[in-house]
Structure 1
Amino acid sequence: MVLMRLRRELRIVSGLLLGFLAIVNGSSSASAQDSAGAGLRLVPGSAQEMKLSFAPIVKDVAPAVVNVYASRKVVQQRRVSPFFNDPFFRRFFGNPDQGLTRPQERVQSSLGSGVVISADGTVITNHHVIKDADEVRVALNDRREFDAEIVLLDERTDLAVLKIKGEGPFDFVPFAGSDSLEVGDIVLAIGNPFGVGQTVTQGIVSALARTQVGVTDYQFFIQTDAAINPGNSGGALVDMNGQLVGVNTAIFSRSGGSNGIGFAIPAHMVQFVATAAGEGGKVQRPWLGATVQLVNAEIAEALSLDRPRGVIVTNIYPSSPAEDAGLRVSDLVIAIDGKEVLDPDSFGYRFATKRLGEQARFTILRGGDQKLIDINLAPAPETTPRDTRVLTEYSPFEGATVMNLSPAVAEEIGVEGLLEGVVITEIVPNSPAARVGMKVGDIVRAINDDEIVSTRMLEGVTKVPPRVWRLDIERDGKVSRIVLRG
C-alpha cells in the first residue's frame, strides 16, 4: 500500500512538473517569437534550429554575383636570339645595337568578382581588378557572358562601376545600410577565389570601422572572418536578409591565402560611388576646407575628456565651408549627422560620403559645451588655374606632369595640407623623374633656394638647367632636400 501510494504521488508530481515545463516552454517560444518579431538577434536554441541552412539566401544572391575578366595589351621588348650575345656572331650583322630586341605584343589578364546592383546590369567591382584594362567581360552564374563598359573608375575608394552590354533585366542584390551591422552578425562572402568558380563562405563581422588597412584613401572597412582569397575582390558580402553590406576588397595574409582577416568596403560608400556613376560618371566629394588631428590620450586629458574620441580642428582655410559655418580651430568634432567620429579616417569617411548641395550636421565640443554646426556641402573650388604642363626637357622632372595646386586639384589627387604650389600628378614609368624617385602627389617647393610658385616657372627652370639641382620636395607633409648633378 505504501509503495503504491508513493508511485501515485510520484505520477502526480511528474504530471505537475511536465505541465509546468510545457507552460514555461510555451511562454519561452512566445517570447522568442516576440523577440524575433522585434528584430532582436537570437542564438540557436534547439537541435532543429541548428539544422537551418543559408541555401535560400545563396539562391537569391548568387545569380547577381559575377566573374569579371579584364585584359590589356602590353608591348615588351623580346630578345631575338641568344646568339646576338656572342661578339663574333654580332660582328657579321652590322650595327650590334640593332636587331637585338624586337617589340612583342602580349595580353595580360586579371580575374576578379563583381556584384550586379540594378536590373539594368550595373555592376560594382574593385578598381584594382580592372585597372588599365582594354577589355572587360562579365560572366554570370548561369554561364552567360557579356562585354562590359567601364562607366566609372575611382582609385581613391578602390571601386569601379561597369555596365553589362546585354538585354536585361538582370538579377541584382539590394543595398543594406552598413551602419546597421553589429560585431558578431553572420555574413556570407560570395565570389570567385583563385578562378575555381563561384564560392560561398560564411563568417561573422569581426570588427567595424576598421582603419589603417592601407588599401584606399578612405580607411573605413568591415572586417570579417569569412574566407576571402585572391579572386574574391569585388565580390559580395551579404547579411542574413540577402542584402549587400559590403564589397570584398582585401585580406591580411603573409601566405597569400585566407587567414580569417578579410576587409570589405561598406555598402554606404559603394552606394555613394554607384550614385555618382549614374549622375554623370564622376565622383564629386564635398570640401570642408579644414584639417583635423587625432585625439590621443594626452590631448583627451588636456581637454578633460573621459576618453579619447573625435578629431580636433587644426587649421581652417579662408572662405571655406568650415569658416562660413563658424567652425573654429581647436573645436572637437565628435559626430557627423549623429554618427560617432572615432579618428581622422572615420571622419573622412563620414564626411566624404555626403551628397553635394545638402548639409552635414557636426556635433562639436567647444570650451566644454556641446554645439551643433551645419556645414554646407559644396565641391572644392579651383581657386588657381591648374595650368597643366608635361615636362619634356632634360631635368630631374622629365616625364612628369605638373599642375598648380588648388582645393580642387588637392581633392582630386588626395593631397592634404597647404593648397598652393606645384604638384606632380603623373609620372611616365622609367622616365628621369621616376628614376630619381619622384612620386605622384609630390609638391615642388623650391629649386636652388628659389621658391616655385607656378607650373610656368618650373617649366622655365627646366629649360635652362643648372650645374647642380637642389630640390626641396614636400611629401606627406614633410619637406626633403634632394641634390643632383645637372
Structure 2
Amino acid sequence: MKTRPRAVCLMALPLLLAGAPSRADDRQLPASKADVVLSFAPVVKRVAPAVVNVYASRVEKRPRNSLMDDPIFRQFFGGHDRPGNPTAQSLGSGVVVDASGLVVTNYHVIDGMTDVRVAMSDKKEYPADVVLRDERTDLAVLRLKGAQSLPVMDLGDSDALEVGDIVLAVGDPFGVGQTVTQGIVSGLARSQIGKSDYQYFVQTDAAINPGNSGGALVDMKSRLIGINSAIYSQSGGSVGIGFAIPVNMVKSVISAARAGETHVRRPWLGASLQGITRDMGEALGLDRPAGVLVSDLVDGGPADAAGLKRGDVVTAVDGAPADDPDAFGYRLATKSLGGTAGLTVRRGNQTLALALKLVPPPETPARDAVTLRNDSPFSGATLVNLSPAVAEEMQINGVRAGVVVAAVADNSTAAMTGIQKGDVIVGLDRSKVTSTRQVEKATAARQDFWHVTIQRGGQIIDSELGG
C-alpha cells in the first residue's frame, strides 16, 4: 500500500522548526572594513604605474601646389604659403616590462608613425624609439629615452589561465586618462581575430575600448597575462568581447628586444600542416577530430630530422594540446631557440614521442632585395629571394622556389597592375624564376607584354601583364 506524501502547512512551519537552533545566533558584525569591502584597489596600485599612454604621429606630406608661388593667389590664405600638412595620429597604451625603459605595445599603434612619445601614470613624458616591430604578433617594443628605474609589471603564465578567472584591463580608452575595468576570462585559444598571424587569443568580458590597445590584462596577483589587442564590436565601443595576446607570446618579443634584435626569430618546423575534420578524424581512427596532420615535409628540415612522416598527427607540444594549426603554431612560436620540444604523435595505432630541434629557418638563399624602377609591370615593387626564413616570416606555403614581393609602393605601376605583397613570382615569360637579379635583368628591356606566373594564397595565377 502506497502512502501519499504528507502536506505541511506553511503557517505551521515555524512551529516545526522552533526547536532547531537559530542560525542567526552564529552571525557576527563585520570586524573590519576588509570584511565588508571587496576591492581591486591593491592590485591596481601595483600595476597602474607600469601602464603607460603611447602617443604616435607622422606628418603627411602633400605635393606643393605651384599656384602658391603666385602672391595674389596666396592672399586668399591670409599671406601664408598654404595650409599646413595634415598630421596622422595614433593613441594607445603600453606596459613597462624592463626598468631600463622597455615598453611593449601593439604594432598597429605605432605602424607607420615617425614620432612616438610615452606618458607615465605620474604625467612624466619620454620620447621613444621603436626598437622591435613584430607585425606577425601585432606587438612592438619601445625604448624610452632618458628613462631610469621605471616601475615594471611582473609577467605571469597565460598557459595557467582558466575560463572564469577574474582579470582587470588597464589602459587609456579615448585618451581620457588611465582606466581600469574588471571581468573574467571568457575563453581561451580564440582564433580568427584578424590582427595577428598567430590566432591564439585570451577572450575577456572586461571592457576594452579604443585607446586600450597595447594595455595590460592582469590577474589577481598583479601579473601581466596579456596585451589587450582587439575587440568585437559593431559600434566601436565595448560589448563585452575583448581579446588579448597571451603573455607567453609576449615573452619571446621581450627577450628578442633585450638581446638587441630588431625582429623575432622563432623555431622552424619545416613541414606543412592542416587541420583535421570530423571525416578525417574517423578515417584516421581518432577519438575526436583534434591535432594537426603532417601533409608535407622539407627534406632535411627539423621535422624530417625528428622522424615525422607524412600522415602523422601531432596532438601535443611538450604536453600542451595542439588541437589545430593555430594552437600548434602558438605552442611552437613560444619556444626559445636551442634545445628541443617534445612532440606527441599519433601514427596509425601507435603513439610516439619525438624530439624536435628548435632552430631558426635558414636564410638560404640570401634575400638580395631589389626594388624595380623600370617600365615593367613590377615597377615600384621590392623583391626578395624565397628562403625558409622568408616563407616563415610571410606565411608562404606550398612553394619552395621563386621571388617574393616584399613591398609595393603606393600609386606605383606594380600597385596599379595588381601586384600584391606576399605574391611569389615563379615564372616570367614562361621561364622559371630563381632570383631577384634574374627578374631585374629580364624586365630591364621594355616590351609590350610579360607572361607572369604568380603563386598567391596557395593558388597559381597565370596572366599577361602589359608593359
TM-score strictly above 0.5: yes
Matches within 5 A, 1:265-280: 265-280=245-260
CA distance in 1, matches of 2:410, 2:463: 20
Instruction: Tell me whether 1:119 sits opposite 2:62 in the alignment.
Output: no
In structure 2, the partner of 1:56 is: 42
Instruction: Tell me whether 1:147 sits opposite 2:127 in the alignment.
Output: yes
2:377/2:466 contact within 8 Å kept: no
| Residue type at the aligned position of 1:70 | A
1:75/1:104 contact within 8 Å kept: no
In structure 1, the partner of 2:273 is: 292
In structure 1, the partner of 2:399 is: 418
Instruction: Pick from 363, 377, 393 the counterpart of residue 344 of structure 2.
Output: 363
In structure 1, the partner of 2:428 is: 447
1:325/1:375 contact within 8 Å kept: yes
In structure 2, the partner of 1:463 is: 444
In structure 2, the partner of 1:213 is: 193
**Partner SS for 1:129:** helix
In structure 2, the partner of 1:109 is: 89
CA distance 1:167–1:452, shift in 2 (3 Å): closer
1:291/1:313 contact within 8 Å kept: yes
Spell out, residue by residue over 1:193-228, the C-alpha distance to the aligned partner (whole angstroms, 9 max, x if none): 111111111111111000111211111101111111
In structure 1, the partner of 2:51 is: 65
User: How much has 1:250 moved relative to structure 2?
Assistant: 0.8
| Residue type at the aligned position of 1:289 | G
CA distance in 1, matches of 2:235, 2:390: 38
Instruction: Tell me whether 1:17 sits opposite 2:21 in the alignment.
Output: yes
CA distance 1:484–1:149, shift in 2 (3 Å): closer
Instruction: Tell me whether 1:200 sits opposite 2:186 in the alignment.
Output: no
2:126/2:147 contact within 8 Å kept: no
Segments of structure 1 that go 5 or more residues without pairing to the other structure are 1-9, 27-46, 91-100
User: How much has 1:412 moved relative to structure 2?
Assistant: 2.9
Instruction: Pick from 90, 99, 108 the counterpart of residue 128 of structure 1.
Output: 108
User: How much has 1:18 moved relative to structure 2?
Assistant: 4.2
| Residue type at the aligned position of 2:294 | V
1:236/1:244 contact within 8 Å kept: yes
**Partner SS for 2:336:** coil
1:470/1:484 contact within 8 Å kept: yes
User: How much has 1:64 moved relative to structure 2?
Assistant: 0.9
In structure 2, the partner of 1:249 is: 229
| Residue type at the aligned position of 2:159 | D
CA distance in 2, matches of 1:49, 1:470: 78
| Residue type at the aligned position of 2:134 | D
CA distance in 2, matches of 1:457, 1:55: 64
CA distance in 2, matches of 1:140, 1:411: 36
CA distance 1:314–1:143, shift in 2 (3 Å): same
User: How much has 1:106 moved relative to structure 2?
Assistant: 4.2
CA distance in 1, matches of 2:232, 2:64: 36
| Residue type at the aligned position of 2:61 | V
Instruction: Pick from 138, 142, 146 the counterpart of residue 158 of structure 1.
Output: 138
2:345/2:351 contact within 8 Å kept: yes
Segments of structure 2 that go 5 or more residues without pairing to the other structure are 1-13, 74-80
CA distance 1:17–1:478, shift in 2 (3 Å): same
User: How much has 1:15 moved relative to structure 2?
Assistant: 7.4
1:76/1:103 contact within 8 Å kept: no
| Residue type at the aligned position of 2:241 | I
**Partner SS for 2:153:** coil
| Residue type at the aligned position of 2:49 | P
CA distance in 1, matches of 2:84, 2:374: 29
In structure 1, the partner of 2:61 is: 75
In structure 1, the partner of 2:285 is: 304
Spell out, residue by residue over 1:130-172, the C-alpha distance to the aligned partner (whole angstroms, 9 max, x if none): 1122221111111111112222111111111112223432112
CA distance 1:428–1:103, shift in 2 (3 Å): farther
1:80/1:102 contact within 8 Å kept: no
Spell out, residue by residue over 1:81-102, the C-alpha distance to the aligned partner (whole angstroms, 9 max, x if none): 69x9xxxx99xxxxxxxxxx98
Matches within 5 A, 1:344-423: 344-423=325-404
Count of residues paired in the alignment: 441
CA distance in 1, matches of 2:441, 2:83: 35
User: How much has 1:103 moved relative to structure 2?
Assistant: 10
User: How much has 1:335 moved relative to structure 2?
Assistant: 0.3
In structure 1, the partner of 2:458 is: 477
| Residue type at the aligned position of 2:209 | N
Matches within 5 A, 1:220-259: 220-259=200-239
Spell out, residue by residue over 1:56-96, the C-alpha distance to the aligned partner (whole angstroms, 9 max, x if none): 111111111100111223211365669x9xxxx99xxxxxx
CA distance 1:104–1:396, shift in 2 (3 Å): farther
Spell out, residue by residue over 1:375-415, the C-alpha distance to the aligned partner (whole angstroms, 9 max, x if none): 01111112323222111111110011111111122223332
**Partner SS for 2:155:** coil
1:187/1:240 contact within 8 Å kept: yes
RMSD: 2.7
With structure 2 as the length reference, what TM-score do the two structures score? 0.88
**Partner SS for 1:445:** strand
CA distance 1:416–1:103, shift in 2 (3 Å): farther
| Residue type at the aligned position of 2:268 | W
Instruction: Tell me whether 1:329 sits opposite 2:333 in the alignment.
Output: no
User: How much has 1:49 moved relative to structure 2?
Assistant: 6.9
Larger relative helix fraction: 1
User: How much has 1:21 moved relative to structure 2?
Assistant: 8.6
CA distance in 2, matches of 1:232, 1:245: 15
Which has the higher mean CA deviation after the structures are superposed, 71-80 or 323-332?
71-80
**Partner SS for 2:98:** coil
CA distance in 2, matches of 1:183, 1:384: 45
With structure 1 as the length reference, what TM-score do the two structures score? 0.85
2:404/2:423 contact within 8 Å kept: yes
Which has the higher mean CA deviation after the structures are superposed, 379-388 or 358-367?
379-388
| Residue type at the aligned position of 1:368 | N
In structure 2, the partner of 1:42 is: none
User: How much has 1:263 moved relative to structure 2?
Assistant: 0.8
1:78/1:103 contact within 8 Å kept: no
User: How much has 1:245 moved relative to structure 2?
Assistant: 0.6
CA distance 1:298–1:109, shift in 2 (3 Å): same
